[in-house]
Structure 1
Amino acid sequence: MESLHKTSFQFISEPSDVNFGGKVHGGVVMKWIDQAAYTCARTWAESYCVTVYVGGIRFYKPINIGEVIKVDAAVIHTGSSSIHIMVEVYSRGFSDQKFDKKTHCIIIFVAVDENGNPRKVKPWTPQTDQEIKLEEYAMRLKTLREEIHEEMRPFFNEE
């Protein structure tokens, strides 16, 4: 049975994805991440979602033009209207059997109704030890974001 809390895309990186160094542009990778994460969040929420946070994008290794790309997205935590998605990006050459991890990050979406107001999402419950650890990770990140936000509040130009 297919899992509704996971999404996976596979495709080939194209010459139009190139940066000045001859590799795939980081902004293109970020677009792939957003597309996979949105698809995952929208599938889970069964409604339109908006991005409220993107964090911890980590680029491990460059991606070459013409490689097979795999973008995996999975729900790792839900709040009342929020959906926390972990995204991992992999690539491999056509002659390689194994994908190599290149990038990962966390994206948080909020499900909204037709007026743009937050709407409740069904709760996600981790089923495996790995999913339990990922949800704990999401909760630690939430606490850290709140602490950083409070520390930086005096520097915000909020009017």
Structure 2
Amino acid sequence: MRDPEITLRFLAAPTDAGRSGSVGAGRVLEWIDKAGYAAAARWSGGYTVTAYVGNVRFRRPVEVGHLVEARARVILTGRSSMHITVQVSSGPPTTGGLEPATQCLMIFVAVGEDGRPTPVPTLEPRSMEERLLADWAERRKDLRGQVQAAMEQQTYSAVGTAPREVLRFLAAPTDVNWGGKVHGGIVMRWIDEAAHVLVTRWTHNPLNVAVFTGGVRFYQPLRIGDLVEVEARLLHTGPHAVHVGVHVRSGDPATGRLELTTFCRTVFVVLDEERRAATVPRWEPVSEEDRALDDHAVELVAIRERFGE
């Protein structure tokens, strides 16, 4: 039987540091994607693509110089899909003690040379733990469906008055994955960066960190040389948090026509100089679209709370 689990271990480098001095959330998301891909490729025996990333909660920072362990495990399979849990832990290399930093559920799809989904081996649970994990992944399908339906019903247009930031650039050769396209971890890093710019401009405080990223759905591949547009839009503010919706679009720079490739929601917390939660300036919705998106952000929190997330 194929091994459903794989562990990557390495040191967090100074180049991994984010704005707060600790490793940036975008870099952690890259590690999550790489570990998930490694597990999916081993299980399927071929190339796989990221289809979904959900419920990434950043519980504690990863410090530069610490030993990092990213453990990915296949817990449920479909015809061509693999549900994979990824847990990132870290700690001082001098002690060897590792503490969980974040975890999430990912879905990868195996594809053949023609780019179409291809069957993967079926995972048969061999222990009570594996059966419980498979059941948990099955239950999350309903949560994922409700979140996705709520997100797809929303309208993002020029009528909205909410603060927004747009980053535009070309996808570089250094962004390539093993299949010749931009890998999902890079896209998630762009999402984190655009959201950080927006939150910084709104709060006038660059010391802000992502505490949650969810509902990351990859609609189509993004290719090297594509024109990329990452739009972050403020959805809702709480006492210490800013909820942001991010759309990633891409296309041929010769035509300028861009299509949606990825969409997600992320939540940032703003910190003071002592790294405690700081008060966030309140945003007041103005237009009908603003109010709908503000309600939408609150609804997503309620949906996850109903599922105990």
Amino acid at match of 1:90: R
5+ residue gaps, structure 2? 1-160
Q: Is the 8 A contact 2:227 2:250 kept in 1?
A: yes
Give the aligned partner of residue 208 of structure 2. Answer: 49
1:126 Cα shift?
A: 1.6
Query: How far apart in 2 are the matches of 1:4 and 1:101?
Result: 20
Give the aligned partner of residue 35 of structure 1. Answer: 193
Query: How far apart in 2 are the matches of 1:94 and 1:6?
Result: 22
After superposition, the C-alpha distances for 1:43-70 in whole angstroms (9 at most, x for unaligned) are 1111111111101001111011101000
Amino acid at match of 1:34: D
Structure 2 length-normalised TM: 0.46
1:7 Cα shift?
A: 0.7
| 1:1-159 mapped onto 2 (5 Å cutoff) | 5-47=163-205, 48-149=207-308
Query: How far apart in 1 are the matches of 2:211 and 2:287?
Result: 27
Question: Which 10-residue stretch deviates more, 72-81 or 16-25?
Answer: 16-25
Matched residues, percent identical? 36
After superposition, the C-alpha distances for 1:76-109 in whole angstroms (9 at most, x for unaligned) are 0000010001000001102223211110101100
1:4 Cα shift?
A: 8.0
Q: SS of 1:143's equivalent?
A: helix
Query: How far apart in 2 are the matches of 1:56 and 1:78?
Result: 19
Q: Is the 8 A contact 2:162 2:234 kept in 1?
A: no
1:74 Cα shift?
A: 0.9
Question: Which 10-residue stretch deviates more, 89-98 or 51-60?
Answer: 89-98
Q: Is the 8 A contact 1:4 1:43 kept in 2?
A: no
Query: How far apart in 2 are the matches of 1:121 and 1:92?
Result: 35
Query: How far apart in 2 are the matches of 1:53 and 1:88?
Result: 16
